[in-house]
Structure 1
Amino acid sequence: DVSMEEYFRTTFEDKLLVKMPEREDDHLTSATRLLEKKREMMEVETALSAQKEEFQMKMESLQQRREELEKKEHQLKESLLKFDRFLKETDAKRVRAVKKAGDERAYRRQKEQEIVEIQGEMRVYSQLRERLKALSDRYERYQKFLEKVIEESNEFTEVREVMDRYETLSSTKKDLKRREDRNQETVEGHKSEQSRYKESKANEVLSQNNVLSGLRERLDESASRALQCEAEWTQVKNSVADRTLQLGMIRVATHNLCQLVSRYRDQGDDIDLDDEVLQVTSEQLARVQQFVLDLTAITDRVARGAIEVDEESDY
């Protein structure tokens, strides 16, 4: 839609373009041109008024048409809302119908399962009834037997007393059996304990035998080492005896040499054995050494003197 302002502006420009005077009228007077302008303005205003009326009529027509369109749009929206509500209600009904059908199917399956279970229980009860009937038929002769026992016995007067006596004897038998089992378990426990004790003692004896064997080995090793040490000690004693003998011989020889030296130096006098200094072998050897040194020196001097005498005799 074109706004009123744009419409007036366009119409006014068209009028001005159509009625614009040409340059060839420049020779007209100012009053004439003013009148011409006024006339043109009046024509423009007349045209504008006509255009306004026409535009107003068009606007009223457009407004009426718009109202009709809005009314139709409102009616269409209401129709759409009604149709949407109808669809929602239909869908809800469909969901409820589907749910109801599912619930009915589940309920039917449940009832069918219950029927199957009840039929199974009926078969079980029927079989149980048949077994009980068979037991009743089989135990009927025992009932007759017990009644006959009561008739011929002076101890019992009712079948219940016989059953009580039987239950008492049965309970006593079970107690005795439990005691026997406990005693047997106790005996087995003692046997197991005895076996473990024997095994423990056997292991202990084996361990002690191993220890004894180790001690015997150590004793044999100690005896062997003792024999070896004794042999070494004998060898040491023999070596010491030999060295003692050699030392004695050396001391005797040293003593004899010392006596010879003393006799030679002291003109045949024996060495004084009471002299503690001369009793030491080292001192005796020192004395012999000193004698040998002195004798060597004397021999050297004598030899040099003989050489000098020979030289003098030669001269």
Structure 2
Amino acid sequence: VPAQGAATLLPSTRVLLKRRELAQVEQELQSQREEFRRRMERLAQRREQLARREDQHRDVVLKFDAFLKAAAARQERALQRAGEEQARALAQGAEAARLHRHLEGLQQHRESLARRLQSLRRFGDYLRDVLASMGQFQDVLAMLVHFGVLAGARAALAQEAEAGQERLAQGRAQLQRYQEETSTELLGTNKELAQLHMSLEAARQDVLQWESCWAHVQSTATQKTLLLGQIKLAVLNLFQLSTAWLKIPMDIALEDTEAQLDMMLLCMRGLTDICATSTHPLRHRGARLSRSQE
């Protein structure tokens, strides 16, 4: 409808036109929504396909990784088995070589025993002849056992005799050491006895010297005692004479010699004063009076 004609249209016509336009717009929107929905569905399907492919790829990767690990483990086990087989083969080879050497040694030992048996065959014949001539044993083994016992007894007796000789030698050595020690101790004892004898003689000389000194001391003490007695007796006589002549009372003990001497000294001083007074009466008058007062 032209624009000029639309301006002249009736309102109902314009409403119908608007409705038709709205219907067309709605139809276009619906078609767009349907297209968008179909696109979203295709995108969802695409995402699902991608997720399934990713899961498939992940499974493939995991399976491949597991395959690689299993292959590496199988390879490692194969290498280990190969190493073990190689080591076992080497060990078996070494064991085979050792057994071969041992077999060769056994063969050589067998040959040596055969040669020794051949060389000892004449001794067996000799032992059988001895057994037949003796007639005492049943077989060669019993005879050898008997002679072995005799040889063992002889060896034991020889060993015991040797041990006895060793004990005898040890006893002789011990006796010699004891004699040497005894002689040494005897010499030391003799020296000590001589020293003690010398010490005894010196002690006797000291005793004699001290006895002479003691006798001299006793003699001197006796003389001093006699002299002291004589002095005491003389002092007592003088004391008695002085006190009797001066008429002084005797109030002093007879054994107190020192007091008697003091009294005699006073008496002698008194006599001296008397003598002096008789010659110089005026000079000693005061002294006599004081002495008489005392």
Asked whether the two chains share a fold, i.e. TM above 0.5, the reply is yes
The reply to whether residue 91 of structure 1 matches residue 50 of structure 2 is: no
2:264 matched to which residue of 1? 288
Pairing partner for 2:221 from 215, 235, 240: 240
Any idea what the Cα deviations from partners look like across 1:149-199, whole Å, max 9, x if unmatched? 456x35557761643443243122123123324434543564566467557
Task: Calculate the aligned-residue CA RMSD, in Å.
Answer: 4.4
Moved more, 193-202 or 133-142: 193-202
1:104/1:307 CA distance change after superposition, 3 Å: closer
Say how many residue pairs are matched.
Answer: 263
- What code does the residue aligned with 2:56 have? Q
Distance 2:260 2:284 in 1: 36
Structure 2 CA distance for aligned equivalents of residues 131 and 183 of structure 1? 43
Task: Determine the C-alpha separation between the residues in 2 that align with 1:54 and 1:200.
Answer: 139
1:298 aligns with 2:279: no
Aligned CA distance change for structure 1 residues 253 and 162 (closer, same or farther; 3 Å) = same
Q: Specify which of 95, 101, 124 is matched with residue 120 of structure 1.
A: 101
Point out the more displaced range, 70-79 or 122-131: 122-131
Change (3 A) 1:111 1:69: same
Gaps in structure 2 of 5+ consecutive residues: 1-10, 286-294
Partners in 2 of 1:182 and 1:77 — Cα distance?
97
Equivalent of residue 111 in structure 1, options 49, 67, 92:
92
CA apart distance, 1:118: 0.9
CA distance in 2, matches of 1:197, 1:44: 151
Counterpart position of 1:133: 114
Q: CA offset at residue 87 of structure 1? A: 1.2
Q: Residues 306 and 85 (structure 1 numbering): CA distance in 2 closer, same or farther, change over 3 Å?
A: closer
Instruction: Report the CA distance shift for 1:51/1:93 in structure 2 as closer, same or farther (over 3 A).
Output: same
Q: Structure 1: 5+ residue runs without aligned partners?
A: 1-30, 267-275, 310-315
Residues 184, 123 of structure 1: CA spacing in aligned structure 2 closer, same or farther, 3 A cutoff?
farther
* Residue identity opposite 1:288 in structure 2: M
Give the Cα separation in 2 of the matches to 1:229 and 1:44.
172
Please say if 1:166 is aligned against 2:142: no
How far is the alpha carbon of 1:63 from its aligned partner? 0.9
Give the alignment's TM-score, normalised by structure 2.
0.66
Cα shift at 1:94:
0.9
**Hey, what does 1:55 align to over in structure 2?**
36
Evaluate the alpha carbon distance shift between residue 86 and residue 283 of structure 1 in structure 2; reply closer, same or farther with a 3 A threshold. Answer: closer
Residues 122-144 of structure 1 show CA distances to partners (whole Å, capped at 9, x for unaligned) of 13212322321232232123223
Amino acid across the alignment from 1:97:
A
Identity of aligned residues (%): 29
Higher relative contact order (CA 8 A, sep 6+): 1
How far apart are the structure 1 equivalents of 2:221 and 2:209?
Answer: 18
